[in-house]
Amino acid sequence: MRKRLGFVFWLAVVYLVVLALAAVFADVLPIKDPAETFPGTSKQGPSLSHWFGNDGVGRDVFSRVIYGAQVSLVISTVGTVLALIIGGLLGMVSGYYGSRVDRWLTATLNASLVIPPLILFLALVLFLDSEAKRRIFILVFTFVLLSIAPIARVVRAATLSWAGQDFVLAARTLGARDGRVLFREILPNVAPSFVSYSLIIMAGLIVVEGSVAFLGLSVPPPTPTWGDMINKGRTNLDVAAHISLMPAIVMFVTVLALNFVGDKLQQYFEPRESVL
C-alpha cells in the first residue's frame, strides 16, 4: 500500500512556496511601496486597488504583509535550521553515548527549558541591543537558543530507540567508528522525525515573533513585520478591524500550513516496518 500525501498537503505546500517567492521577490513585484502613505485612504477597508485595505496612516496592508513575510520567513527558517543542526547533534550525541554525557546534556537542556522565553528575550534585547539593525540577529539568536532544547529532546528520544537496534550493534561489530554509526545508521532513521518536527518549530517561531512584536521588541519600524502590524492595528480594532485581521489571517494560515505539512510528512516517513 503506497502512502499518499493528499490534496490538502499540496495545497499547503503551494501556499508556502507562493508566500516565500512573494517575500523574496517583493522588491520587483508590481506591488505598492510598503512605506508609501496614500492620502485619504486611512483605515479604508479592502478594495480593488488596495486588496487588504489601508492601515491607520494610509499605507497598503497587502504590500506590508508581503514585506512582513520576509522578516517572518527569514527568522523562522534561519532559526530553525540552526537550532536543528545544533539541537539535532546534541540530541544524537546524548542519545547515542548515554551514561554521563547523556546525564549532563539532558540536565543542561532541561535547565535551559526552565528559563522563561520572554524574560530571556527581554534580557538579551536590553543587554545586547543598541542598534535596531542588529535586532533581527538577536531575534534569530534567541529563537535558536529557545528551540535547541525541544529539538534535542525529540532527537534524543528517537536516537535512543534506534541506537538499541541490532543493526547499530552490527555496525560496531564491523568496526565502524561512532561518527559513522551516528551519521550512516542512526541519522537516516532519526531524520524524518526531526525534519517534520522542525516545520512545527518553524510555525512556533512565527507565532513567537508575533508576540514579541506585540511588546514592540521585534524588528523596529519602518520594516513591517506581521506582529508589529497586528499590534499597531489594535487601536483601530473597532473601526477598521482589517488592519490587524489581515496580517493575523495570513499568519494563521501560514502557521496552519506549516503544521499541516509537518504532520503529514511525519506520517509519510513513518518506517514501513509497521506494514509487515
Partner 1 sequence: MAGSGNAHLRPEALLSARDLVVEFPAAGGRTVHAVSGVSLDLEEGETLGLVGESGCGKSTTGRAILQLPRPTSGTVQLDGQELTELDEDAIRDVRPRLQMIYQDPISSLNPRRRVRDIIAEPLFIALENVSRRTAMAVWQDRIGELLQNMLRRASGVMRIVGLLASVAFVLWILSETVEERAAEPWLGWTQVPAAVIGFPSLALLLLAAAIALLLGLTWVLLAVMLPFSLMSRQFGEVSSAVGLAGVVVTTGASAFLLWRTWSSFGGWAQWLNSGGLSLLTAVLAVWLVLSMVKPERAGASGVATTLSAMVVLQVFYVAGLDGGIKLAVLVASAVIDTLLFRWVLRCYRANRDAERERAEPRVREVLEYVGINPDDALDRRPWEFSGGQAQRLSIARALVSVPQVIICDEPVSSLDVSVQAQILNLLEDLKNLMGLTLVFIAHDLAVVKNVSDRVAVMYLGKLCEVSEPDAMFAQPAHPYTELLLAAIPQPDPEAELGTERIGGELPSPMDPPSGCRFRTRCPLAAERCAAEEPEMREIAPGRFVACHTPLIGEPAPARVDLATNAEGAS
Q: Which residues bind partner 1 (CB under 8 A)?
A: 24-25, 27-28, 70, 74, 77-78, 81, 85, 133-134, 137, 165-167, 169-177, 179-180, 183-185, 187-189, 191, 271-273, 275-276
Q: Which is nearer to partner 1, 55 or 185 (CB)?
A: 185
CB 135 to partner 1: min, Å: 9
**Minimum distance from residue 234 beta carbon to partner 1 (Å):** 28
Q: CB of 240 within 8 A of CB of 46?
A: no
CB closer to partner 1 out of 41 and 121: 121
Element (H, E) at 125: helix 117-128
SS3 of 45, please? coil
Cβ-based burial of 191 (10 A; exposed 0-12, middle 13-18, buried ≥19): middle
Question: Which is closer to partner 1, CB of 104 or CB of 183?
Answer: 183
Rounded-to-5 percentages of helix, strand, coil across the chain: 75, 0, 25
Is-contact 35 213, C-beta < 8 A?
Answer: no
Q: How far is the CB of 85 from partner 1 (least distance, A)?
A: 7
Q: Which residue has cell 513567537?
A: 208
| Minimum distance of partner 1 from residue 214's CB (angstroms) | 24
Q: Please state, in angstroms and rounded to a whole number, the distance separating the CA atoms of residues 250 and 245.
A: 9
Min. distance of Cβ 40 from partner 1 in angstroms? 27
- The single residue listed with the C-alpha cell 519602518 is 222
263: Cα within 13 Å, side-chain hemisphere: 12
Least CB distance to partner 1 at residue 112 (A): 22
Cell numbers for 122: 527581554
- Measured from the CB atom, the residue of 134 and 234 that comes closer to partner 1 is 134
| Nearer residue to partner 1 within complex by CB, 41 or 189 | 189
Interatomic CA distance for residues 1 and 272, integer angstroms: 10
Q: Are 189 and 154 in contact (CB under 8 A)?
A: no
Alpha-carbon span 138 to 129, nearest angstrom: 8
Tell the smallest beta-carbon distance from residue 179 to partner 1 (Å).
Answer: 8
Closer residue to partner 1 (CB): 167 or 252: 167
In the complex, what is the shortest distance from the CB of residue 134 to partner 1, in angstroms, rounded to a whole number? 4
Cβ distance to partner 1 smaller for residue 238 or 273: 273
> Would you call the peptide bond into 247 cis, given omega within 30 degrees of 0 as the criterion?
no
DSSP 37: B
Cβ proximity to partner 1, 10 vs 167, nearer residue: 167
